[in-house]
Amino acid sequence: MRDEQVVEVVETEVALLMRRSEATRRAGGEAPHRALDRAAYLLLRRLDEHGPAQINGLAEALGLDGSTVTRQVTALERDGLVTRGRSDSDGRAILVTPTPAGRERVRAVRAARVELYERILADWPQADRATLAELLTRLNASLDEAVRRT
């Protein structure tokens, strides 16, 4: 395959991956992996793994603008999954913190998503799974870098 054809296949396959990933998330009625939409999942996961953060820090980490993150945080706050409060070290800073319910929800969703992908990839050799993980990580890093350059 010529290089331009390879890039065209990558473009198509990424578009299909995004569509099928969303369809998989929606499938299955009240399946545990559906308990959070993608935006809420990524935001709560970031907070669960890295601790409380300011809106701007979350926006930078997730590659979003502050107003988008503010809307997402407002929705999560309304659902009782995060709180906003003043930083102990800098009273001017507002920190977003996951609530115990938020931590529980994101961990349950993560476990359900891992289980789902374990089933999907069950017949793949371990080496192929590892290669997929490595290449997806590289692709996401390249996408992040492309966004930072624009």
Q: State pLDDT tens for residues 34-54.
A: 678 888 999 999 999 999 999
Paired strand residues for 97: 83
Residues 52, 97 within the same domain: yes
> Is 122 found in the same domain as 75?
yes
101 or 87: whose pLDDT is higher? 101
pLDDT of 99 reads 97
* Residue 58 and residue 21 in one domain: no
CATH of the domain at 54: 1.10.10.10
**What DSSP string describes 75-141?**
HHHHTTSEEEEE-SS-TT-EEEEE-HHHHHHHHHHHHHHHHHHHHHTTTS-HHHHHHHHHHHHHHHH
- 72 shares its domain with 119: yes
Say yes or no: 82 and 25 in one domain.
no
The total number of structural domains that make up the chain: 2
Model confidence pLDDT, tens digit, residues 98-116: 999 999 999 999 998 899 8
**Which residue matches tokens 């998503």?**
113
| CA 39 – CA 61 distance, rounded (Å) | 13
The domain containing residue 25 runs over which residues? Answer: 1-30
Q: What pTM, to 2 d.p., does this model score?
A: 0.81
Residues 14, 72, single domain; the answer is: no
Same domain, yes or no: 26 and 48: no
40 and 7 housed in the same domain: no
The average confidence (pLDDT) of the chain is 88
Please, what sign has the CA dihedral across residues 133, 136, 142, 148?
negative
